[in-house]
Each structure stands twice: as C-alpha cells, then as structure tokens.
Chains A and B, each alone.
Chain A
Amino acid sequence: MNTEQVRNDFPLLAANPHLAYLDNGATTQKPAAVIRAVEDFYEKANANPLRGLYDLSQEATERYEEAREAVRGFINAAAAKEIIFTRNATESLNLLAYSLGEDLREGDEIALTVMEHHSNLIPWQQLAKRKGLRLNWISCGRCGVITEEAVRAAVTDRTKIVAMTQMSNVLGTVNDVKTFAAIAHEKGALFVCDGAQSVPHMPVDVRALGVDFLAFSGHKMLGPMGIGVLYGREELLSKMQPFLFGGEMIEYVTREDATWAELPHKFEAGTVNAADAAGLKAAIECYGRYGFHEIVKREEELGEYAFSVLKSVPHLTILGADEAAAHHGIFSFVLEGVHPHDIAEILNADGVCIRAGHHCAQVLMKTLGVPSTVRASLSFYNTEEEIDRLGESLRTVRRRMGYAE
C-alpha cells in the first residue's frame, strides 16, 4: 500500500498535512469517492425512493438497493433483506432492544460484557428495568480478555439474549464471538454482536461467525455519518415486531389496525437515507480497491510501531494487553499525574487529534480502576511520522503541566 497515494484520496488529509488524525475509533476521514457518491445521488438521482412510479424515483430506489446489496456482500449475509439500514450502530442496537424486548418476560435474563460501549449496554439495562429482567455481567480481566468460562458462568437456561462487542473500543481486544455465539445457542439464547469497531478493521463474515445480529456504523468505515446497519437472520427478523411505525413500512392500513411490509422495509419507517447509503456503498468499494488484506497488514504494522513508541514515553501506562497485536490499533493510556483532558489539550496545540475521556464505557473504566483515559486509534492511512509526533508531544506534557524533569 502506497500511503502517500492513499492519503491523496482523502481531501481532509490532503488539505491538512500537519494534522495527525489519530481518532479513527470515533470516526474515520472520508475519501473523495464517498463524498462524490453522496453528491452524485443528490445531483442525478434525487427522489423519494421506494414509492414513486416515475423513472427518477426508480433510479433513487436502485441506488439505495444496490447499497444494501453491497453491504450484504461485505459481511457475507445470506440475503439483502437481512440488511436493515439505520442511522448508526446505536440505533441498530436500540431497534433490537425494543423489538426483541417485546417477547421477554419478568425473570428472563440478558448477558452482556463489562466492556460494552454504552450503545450496547444502556438499551439492555433500560429494557431490563422496564420489564423486570436480570442482567448477567460477563467479566474480563485487566487485559480485556473474555474467557469461555466467564461466558459460561453468565449464560444460563433463562438467558434469552447475549450482547457482546467483537472489538473493545477502549482496549482493542477482539472477542471470540464465534465460540461465544455457539455457547449462547446451546442455551437457547440469541447472540447480538456489536461490530462498530471490528467491521471497519477486520473481515467479518456473519455466517462463519454464526451471530444472529450484527450492528455497525458507516462513518467508522470511511462512509458518511447518519447511515448504519443492522444485520439479522431472516428467520428472526421476520418474526420480530417493528421498532418505528409510519410511512413505507406498512402493507395495509385500516382505522383499527395495520399489517407490515416485507423485510427489510418493515424496519425502515419513513423516508430512508438513500444518499448516505450510496456513500456507504462507495466506502465498501474503497475497501475493495485498497484490499482488506492490505488494510489489515498496514494497520498491524502501524499498531506495532505505535505500541513501541508509546511504551518508550516515561510515566505512560498502556491499558489492556502487553502486546501490540492484541490492540488492533486502539491504544488507551494514562500519563501519571496528568488528567487526560489536559493531555488532549496539549496534543491539540501540537496538531495531534486523540480522544480523552471515558469513551462511552464507564462500566469498563470502573473495572479498570481509572476515571478516564487518552485513546489513540489508527487507520491504514496514518503514518509512522504521525505516531512520532504523538510520542514527541506526549514526552513534553508533564513538563508543560508544571512537573520538574
């Protein structure tokens, strides 16, 4: 992969050569092809999709459905109707909590891990409060590893749903969701996988993994903000109740009742976000053009490099595993005596963009015993030079905060 060439595909990176953008876990930059695809939809195909009986609306519908097919192929779902477009992973997970929650009864259990992002935690927690369900927590060690024993301890005969992220947004560790989905199924539970961090950085095959549901966001994988995906097995989706009611999701409506449209439209009430879906398709094509294998290889190289640079900074502690490969380009760390927000401010002054805070994972923060951390997260378009600048800036932080050394 020629990084210099790749960076020229990203207008924001090309226009800001002195900015080190290391917050890719929050959102990635967008290639020109993605920005153009959104623009092209509005310039050449804009009409309300799925309903209009004229050519332009048909064109809009085609572009929208082509995007669905591209997503299907990207995660190897069995059929395009198993792909529901949402706003983002958060909305996908809320859809599941509301819709699956309809069938749960008091005393039923939901198992989830302590490393979940709030988007895969609060929907289940609030569902449990509404319906008198029990939450079984799956713990992880300080390295962020979830063992088979920990999963077996939390999944019982009363467990109906197991919710788990495939990749921690704080520690970067990858969970063995294939094994854990099989354990859930042994106990008759459904397995909900949060792929917000994993889908952008590793090939994910929903059928090989055997997950029942997968949620992810377009904007973390080169795509536009405002378009996300819920994958669900057809057999399950077709039995589930809609989450949002309104236009374009019905079959037949009377004063008293309504019947629902076929999948996937049953779950896509209201005018859909066809332009950003087209942008997501363009993002998926970028993965194809760069080559997912090449992307993973480059991100591994950068991850090794970042790990060694961070390890060499005095007073800095990386949370989680003590080996680069287990981090998948996500490094959370603390610097003795300096609050993460002060670090972020100093790094910002040096043109380095990182995230500081609890990373929407307060339960994990409590488990790790830290109130907040700094997080640097990589993408294949980053460079060793940017990582050097992160390291150099971090070395000056304690002095700039008034420590003598």
Chain B
Amino acid sequence: MQNSFYREIVNDHNLRPTHKHELKNANLTLRGVNPSCGDDICLSLFVKDGVIGDGAFTGDGCAISQASADMMLDLVIGKSEEEAVSLAEAFFRMIKGEARPDEIEMLEEAGALSDVSHMPARVKCAVLSWHTLKNLIEK
C-alpha cells in the first residue's frame, strides 16, 4: 500500500478503531479466522427487524484486517441486512479489481483498500471481516 493517503486511513482505523470492543446486546456473533496468517476476529451484531442496529468486533490481526473490520462496521451499522450483503459483494468485487467506480464510492472509506487488488498476499486479510459478516447474516 504505497499511496500514503490510503495508508493513513488504514493506520488510523488500525490504531484508533471505533468499533473494536465487546457488544453487550449482540444477538448474532461469529468468529472469522485466516489460519495461514493468524488474523482472528469475532464479529458481533445487534439486528432488529432486519436492520443492523449496532455492531462491534474483537480479535487480533494485521493492520489491514483490523482496519477493514472497523471501516466495514462504520458502513453497515444502520443498514438493512440485504444492503450489508450487497455492500460486502461490492467489496469482494473491488478486491478482485472488478468493481465499478460508483461501487467503490458506495463503500466510502473502505474504498481505501482498493489497492489490495494489487497485493495478492493481503487479499484474505482485507476480506476476512466482510466474509464473516456475510456468513453471519446468511447462516
């Protein structure tokens, strides 16, 4: 991630995450792990009437995995489950380098990770929380 503007966004979410804490009223919780690199997050959501009312994560991992989880929660809290899944799918397309500019726009700060499409070794770090979110909603 050579672009320093994007690096700053990632560093900021990694060092000062908003959503990295336990969630007392969680009604959906799922652990996501990257066995090969040891990224390990636990994602918790409070969902009511199909809307994500609140969300948080705990765990350990590299800056990309942690920042990605924090930015994802910034984006999906307050959205419906369907919207959250379609944002996750847009994120996966972005990481594959296949997203349209308007889709990347929709991802707000998480769009800072679009560079990861050129960093195959970091793809699984970036998508960990998003896969966990999708599995949690669709299970």
Residues of A within 8 A of B (CB): 338-342, 345, 349, 356-358, 371-372, 400-403
Given contacts A371-B60, A401-B15, A402-B8, 10 further A-B contacts (CB under 8 A): A340-B62, A341-B62, A341-B121, A341-B122, A357-B37, A372-B37, A401-B63, A402-B11, A402-B12, A402-B15
**B63 touching A339, Cβ below 8 Å:** yes
- Nearest residue in B to A337 (C-beta to C-beta)? B15
Within 8 A of A (CB), among B14-49: 14-15, 36-38, 40
> Which chain B residues border A349 with CB–CB below 8 Å?
2
Within the complex, the shortest CB–CB distance from B125 to chain A, in Å, comes to 7
Task: Count CB-based A-B contacts (< 8 Å).
Answer: 42
- Nearest residue in A to B119 (C-beta to C-beta)? A345
Contact of B78 with A by CB under 8 A: no
Within 8 A of A (CB), among B105-127: 119, 121-122, 125
Best-buried of A345, A349, A357 by chain B (most CB within 10 Å):
A345
> Which chain B residues border A341 with CB–CB below 8 Å?
37, 62, 64, 121-122, 125
**A403 touching B15, Cβ below 8 Å:** yes
Best-buried of A342, A356, A357, A372 by chain B (most CB within 10 Å):
A342
Sampled A-B contacts (28; CB under 8 Å): A339-B60, A339-B61, A339-B62, A339-B63, A340-B62, A341-B37, A341-B62, A341-B121, A341-B122, A342-B62, A342-B63, A342-B64, A345-B121, A357-B38, A358-B37, A371-B40, A371-B60, A372-B37, A372-B38, A400-B7, A401-B11, A401-B63, A402-B8, A402-B11, A402-B12, A402-B14, A402-B15, A403-B15
Residues of B within 8 A of A (CB): 1-2, 7-8, 11-12, 14-15, 36-38, 40, 60-64, 119, 121-122, 125
Within the complex, the shortest CB–CB distance from B74 to chain A, in Å, comes to 18
**A345 touching B37, Cβ below 8 Å:** no
CA distance A383 to B2 in the complex (A): 27
CA distance A29 to B134 in the complex (A): 42
Shortest beta-carbon contacts, A-B, top 4: A402-B11, A339-B62, A341-B62, A371-B38
Within the complex, the shortest CB–CB distance from A122 to chain B, in Å, comes to 13
Give the residue of B14, B36, B61 whose beta carbon is less than 8 angstroms from that of A357: B36
**B2 touching A358, Cβ below 8 Å:** no
- Nearest residue in A to B2 (C-beta to C-beta)? A349
> Which chain B residues border A371 with CB–CB below 8 Å?
38, 40, 60
> Which chain A residues border B62 with CB–CB below 8 Å?
339-342
- Nearest residue in A to B13 (C-beta to C-beta)? A402
CA distance A340 to B14 in the complex (A): 14
CA distance A357 to B121 in the complex (A): 12
**B11 touching A358, Cβ below 8 Å:** no
CA distance A338 to B61 in the complex (A): 9
> Which chain A residues border B64 with CB–CB below 8 Å?
341-342
CA distance A341 to B40 in the complex (A): 13
> Which chain A residues border B40 with CB–CB below 8 Å?
371
> Which chain B residues border A401 with CB–CB below 8 Å?
11, 14-15, 63
Within the complex, the shortest CB–CB distance from B8 to chain A, in Å, comes to 7
Best-buried of A339, A371, A372, A401 by chain B (most CB within 10 Å):
A339
> Which chain B residues border A340 with CB–CB below 8 Å?
62
CA distance A176 to B58 in the complex (A): 42
Within the complex, the shortest CB–CB distance from A164 to chain B, in Å, comes to 25
Within the complex, the shortest CB–CB distance from A316 to chain B, in Å, comes to 17
CA distance A345 to B123 in the complex (A): 13
Within the complex, the shortest CB–CB distance from B19 to chain A, in Å, comes to 18
CA distance A358 to B2 in the complex (A): 25
> Which chain A residues border B1 with CB–CB below 8 Å?
345
> Which chain A residues border B15 with CB–CB below 8 Å?
401-403
- Nearest residue in B to A370 (C-beta to C-beta)? B38
CA distance A339 to B67 in the complex (A): 12
- Nearest residue in B to A344 (C-beta to C-beta)? B121
> Which chain A residues border B121 with CB–CB below 8 Å?
341, 345
- Nearest residue in A to B1 (C-beta to C-beta)? A345
Best-buried of B12, B37, B125 by chain A (most CB within 10 Å):
B37
CA distance A403 to B63 in the complex (A): 13
CA distance A71 to B37 in the complex (A): 35
CA distance A356 to B37 in the complex (A): 8
> Which chain B residues border A356 with CB–CB below 8 Å?
37
CA distance A90 to B15 in the complex (A): 39
CA distance A372 to B64 in the complex (A): 16
CA distance A136 to B113 in the complex (A): 46
- Nearest residue in B to A343 (C-beta to C-beta)? B62
> Which chain A residues border B122 with CB–CB below 8 Å?
341, 345
> Which chain B residues border A338 with CB–CB below 8 Å?
63
> Which chain A residues border B63 with CB–CB below 8 Å?
338-339, 342, 401
> Which chain B residues border A372 with CB–CB below 8 Å?
37-38
Within the complex, the shortest CB–CB distance from A182 to chain B, in Å, comes to 38
> Which chain B residues border A339 with CB–CB below 8 Å?
60-63
CA distance A403 to B119 in the complex (A): 23
- Nearest residue in A to B34 (C-beta to C-beta)? A341
Within the complex, the shortest CB–CB distance from B70 to chain A, in Å, comes to 13
CA distance A53 to B7 in the complex (A): 65
